[in-house]
Amino acid sequence: MIRPHRLELPWQEPQALAHQLAHAYGEEGMVWLDGDGSSLGRWATLAVAPQEIVCCRGLPDEPGASNPFEALRGLAPGHWCGWLSYEAAAWVEPGNPWASDGMATLWIARHDPVLRFDLQKRRLWIEASSPAALDRLTQQLASVTKQPKGKPPSIPLTAWHHHTSADHYATGVQRIRDLIAAGDLFQANLTACCSTAWPQGGNALELFVTLREACPAPFAGLIISDQNEALLSSSPERFLQVSAEGAVQTRPIKGTRPRHGDPEQDANLAAELVCSDKDRAENVMIVDLLRNDLGRACQPGSIQVPQLVGLESYASVHHLTSVVEGQLQAGLSWVDLLEASWPGGSISGAPKLRACQRLHELEPTSRGPYCGSLLRIDWDGSFDSNILIRSLLRQGDTLRAHAGCGIVADSDPLGEAEELMWKLQPLLEALA
């Protein structure tokens, strides 16, 4: 545990400081954990020029591959941010089939100092492990000139290549329905991917600023690695949070409707979602799965569900969200809980490993960081993470976007294909 030194600065918006720091230090190694100003998204964190980087690639039995969970166990105390990919599950369940992805399985960096923003009260601090680090960043910020916001290049909707057509997605939905009818599955989260060339002259920071303005979310974030990779997330979903005292929370999302510009129609869509037996059943099923996952690392009898199937509304969608809480067992860490719960139940299915196997058969592309998590370890050893939905991935000269839908016995194949586009469209339109 580190008790950071803090120095309050005059308020500046996160995007303004992000542009200044990127100009001074470059984008590589930048982390920006963002919020939407709500109670869940009150805080933002910004840092550049990492002191240390840990990176793992590959699946078990691949040359040079390394176990990301063991790497996480070996992190030194400090403030860390990064991502863990969906396919890290290969290190938890190597007997299941997993698709190899070109992006890092784990990329995580330690920063000292960091900037911390209270988006509600509009207050700003530097946090660092030593007074010298505070002074160093203070002087550097004073010497950096303000940078105007650039204009990101637009990406036309027609530039995106969809690796799964609407018809093929509907066929995949029907296949999962058949498997459910045969008793093979109860639920599975079928995803699809589209990709395009990385825009000429584009940079990840400008694209993220555009995304956050169009699709604000409480668990958003930008991570730019030192290896020409980046993730840009506007996720509304928390995966696992573990306090320094071991209190655990997860907030699974299942059930989605689009927002509408007309208030009456928007309210009708929200009411339709709340009253949907199908969406409620899907949410409750994942709550049961996550209660079981948390039970592997939490104290017996500590698992509680303070919110079951609650409505939450965001800029482009309505969601049904539940909250599951517990208390970590003595002697176990957040890494043990993360490993026991990986991959997230809300983006895999039930039974989890069988669902992952069937999804591997149906999805033509790997997921990579999508459906993984953006991770943060704070100075005091507390941990927080999101589920990387509503996210864009940069890998070299390629930009990817993914979306998925939870499929149950009474899912309508054409309706699920339509829902897939509700989820993709706000991301693609934001960049267009």
Query: Which CATH number characterizes residue 303's domain?
Result: 3.60.120.10
pLDDT per position as a tens digit, 194-208: 999 999 888 999 999
Residue type (1 letter), 175: R
End-to-end CA, the chain:
44
What is the C-alpha to C-alpha distance for residues 26 and 22, in angstroms, rounded to an integer? 4
CB atoms within 10 A of CB 200: 7
Residue 55 pLDDT exceeds 90: yes
pLDDT per position as a tens digit, 242-297: 999 999 999 998 888 888 888 999 998 889 898 988 888 888 989 999 999 999 99
For 179, the token pair is 């498997």
Contact between 400 and 162 (Cβ < 8 Å)? no
What is the C-alpha to C-alpha distance for residues 163 and 169, in angstroms, rounded to an integer? 10
Report the domain count for the chain: 1
Report, as residue numbers or ranges, the catalytic residues.
237, 254
Nearest to 28 by CA among 130, 86, 107: 107
Full-model pTM: 0.94
25 Cβ partners below 8 Å, 6+ apart? 48, 49
Residue 233: its H or E element? strand 229-235
Residue 149 pLDDT exceeds 70: no
What is the C-alpha to C-alpha distance for residues 219 and 44, in angstroms, rounded to an integer? 9
Range of the domain at 401: 5-431
The residue behind tokens 């010298």 is 132
Asked if residue 152 has a cis previous peptide bond (ω within 30° of 0), the answer is no
Asked if residue 216 has a cis previous peptide bond (ω within 30° of 0), the answer is no
What is the C-alpha to C-alpha distance for residues 68 and 80, in angstroms, rounded to an integer? 14
Tell me what pLDDT residue 278 has: 85
What mean pLDDT is predicted for residues 13-42? 94
pLDDT per position as a tens digit, 342-373: 999 999 999 999 999 999 999 999 999 999 99
> Which stretches within 82-130 are classed as H helix?
none
